[in-house]
Amino acid sequence: MDPKSTAETVVKHLEDAWNAADGPAFAEPFASDADFVNVRGELHSGRDAIAAGHQQIFDTIYAGSTLRYSVGSARELDDGVILAHIPATLNVPSGPLAGEINALASIVLVRDGGEHRIAAFHNTAVAGA
Amino acid sequence: MDPKSTAETVVKHLEDAWNAADGPAFAEPFASDADFVNVRGELHSGRDAIAAGHQQIFDTIYAGSTLRYSVGSARELDDGVILAHIPATLNVPSGPLAGEINALASIVLVRDGGEHRIAAFHNTAVAGA
């Protein structure tokens, strides 16, 4: 499987889990020791922390939101290690962050047995978008 | 050399180049095909684009600024591939961004011959800091 298809499979899982507001499902494609930096510059380490952090935002500021991811680019950095850039568009129906939010994430996928898992996810809100 | 020491060597080079306002020197530790996502969520690909983009901000919004990086954590994702988290504190003396700005970057280092180069750099401003 090429890097872009591999990234698309992973990202589709994230998107579906986000849109189901399911924190543990969102965290499933991550490695158990994965690192996640969110748009506020906060680092969460470990799949459990990533699940809990996402469940928290799904239940509050991003309740009812709809996320659409794409894979902008993807390449192999080393054998089995993939870097991909993931543009995201989030629509939040209500609350302090209501409206459309755009972000760009970098993800690093590492091979784990027969599949790739996310070892690192780093997200940034797109300024002026 | 352990992952943290390797990251510290690279990051010290970045810090010195920033504080000398030298875009090409800042870009030196990057791989020629490196990807850089800045705090505005903009992707710059390639060492030349990273050099030019930094020279532009050194000459304008960040003129006279002082940067301090540290290495918060560093680990090997795969043989020769290092992920490190880099907290930064930037002091800008004047202009629209005057003051102290905090950020957190993730960097991915890949072995290239006898040294490690930055394959991916992703930066996020720390909210409320």
Q: What is the pLDDT of residues A48-95, one digit of tens each?
A: 999 999 999 999 999 999 999 999 999 999 999 999 999 999 999 999
All residues of chain A having their beta carbon less than 8 Å from the beta carbon of residue B33 are 75
Per-residue model confidence (pLDDT) at position A121: 98
Instruction: Give residue for tokens 């020769």.
Output: B80
Contact A108 B77 (CB under 8 A): yes
Say which of A77, A78, A122 has its CB closest to residue B124.
Answer: A122
Name the pLDDT band for A128 (thresholds 50, 70, 90). Answer: confident
The number of C-alpha atoms within 13 Å of B47 and in the hemisphere containing its C-beta is: 13
Per-residue model confidence (pLDDT) at position B128: 75
Mean local confidence (pLDDT), A5-34: 98
Per-residue model confidence (pLDDT) at position B46: 98
All residues of chain B having their beta carbon less than 8 Å from the beta carbon of residue A61 are none
All residues of chain A having their beta carbon less than 8 Å from the beta carbon of residue B45 are 73
Per-residue model confidence (pLDDT) at position B114: 87
Per-residue model confidence (pLDDT) at position B60: 96
Q: What is the pLDDT of residues B95-107, one digit of tens each?
A: 999 999 999 999 9
pLDDT tens track of chain B, all 129 residues?
799 999 999 999 999 999 999 999 999 999 999 999 999 999 999 999 999 999 999 999 999 999 999 999 999 999 999 999 999 999 999 999 999 999 999 999 999 888 999 999 999 999 975
Contact B122 A129 (CB under 8 A): no
Q: How is A42-84 classified by DSSP, letter by letter? A: -EEESHHHHHHHHHHHHTTTTTT-EEEE---EEEEEETTEEEE
Name the pLDDT band for A113 (thresholds 50, 70, 90). Answer: confident
Average pLDDT of chain A, as a whole number? 96
CB atoms closer than 10 angstroms to residue B28: 16
Name the pLDDT band for A129 (thresholds 50, 70, 90). Answer: low
All residues of chain A having their beta carbon less than 8 Å from the beta carbon of residue B126 are 40-42
CA-based radius of gyration for chain B: 14
Contact A81 B77 (CB under 8 A): yes
Parallel, antiparallel or unpaired: strands B73-78 and B66-69: unpaired
Number of inter-chain CB pairs under 8 A, A vs B: 108
Residues of A at the B interface (Cβ-Cβ below 8 Å)?
Answer: 33, 35, 37-43, 45, 72-73, 75, 77-81, 83, 85, 102-106, 108, 110-111, 119-120, 122-129
Q: Residue A40 and residue B103: Cα distance in Å, rounded?
A: 9
Residue A72 has phi, psi (to 5 degrees) of: -75, -40
Which of the residue ranges A22-26, A83-87, A90-94, A113-117 would you say has the lowest mean pLDDT?
Answer: A113-117
Token pair in block for residue B17: 């180049």
CB-based burial label for B102 (10 Å; 0-12, 13-18, 19+): middle
Contact B120 A77 (CB under 8 A): yes
Q: How close does chain B come to A46, measured CA to CA in Å?
A: 13
Contact A40 B103 (CB under 8 A): no
CB-based burial label for A118 (10 Å; 0-12, 13-18, 19+): buried
Contact A119 B72 (CB under 8 A): no
Instruction: Give residue for tokens 């755009």.
Output: A102
* pTM for this prediction: 0.96
**Tell me, what amino acid is at A27?**
A
Say which of A81, A111, A124 has its CB closest to residue B41.
Answer: A124
**Tell me, what amino acid is at A51?**
A
- Could you tell me which of B81, B76, B77, B102 has the C-alpha nearest to residue A42? B102
